[in-house]
Amino acid sequence: MISEIIECDNETARSLEKIEKLIFGTAWNYEIIQEKIKNKKFKYWIYEVENSIKGYLGIQFLEEEIEILGIGVNQGSRRKNIATELMDELIEYFEKSEYKKIILEVRESNTVAQRLYKKYGFKKISKRKKYYVNEDAEVYLREKIYA
């Protein structure tokens, strides 16, 4: 089985729209995804197995920080360390970059994702009331450690 992490391009943008809709029930449409990948302030990493998208991680570059916009793995591909591999890719990128922190929001009920973020050194810093429909968001932050 051949797996790889690639950057999203026009060819994979349509598949990204489909996988996001399958995972979360909603998604940015193809045109919005295309606009984002053309913009240097956004990046999507796609996890592929034999040319089939199994997961993704989307980020936005802000002034001194990276914001995780979303991370998702197909239902049938969960518990195979795909999210971990995507996070490894992000952390490696982050450590080599000039960015000072990574921030994200996660559903209060999504304890699986919260455990993943904590594993990577993220700390809960606040809560955003009603950030999602009928649910609050926990805000997590990881700051770069300078030796």
Question: For residues 43-67, b (16+ Cβ closer than 10 Å) or e, as one string?
Answer: bbbbbbbeeebbbbbbbeeeeebbb
- Per-residue pLDDT of 17-62, as tens digits, reads 787 777 777 667 778 888 887 888 998 898 988 888 888 999 999 9
Q: Is the pLDDT score of 142 beyond 70?
A: yes
Evaluate whether 107 touches 132 at the Cβ level (below 8 Å).
yes
- Give me the count of residues in the chain: 147
- The pLDDT assigned to 143 comes to 96
Domain count within the chain: 1
Which run of H or E residues covers position 136?
Answer: strand 135-143
Domain membership of residue 69 as a residue range: 3-143
DSSP annotation of 8? -
CATH number at residue 135: 3.40.630.30
Torsion of Cα atoms, 21 then 65 then 138 then 70, to 10°? 10
Residue 79's pLDDT is 86
pLDDT tens readout for residues 99-140: 999 999 999 999 999 999 999 999 999 999 998 888 999 999
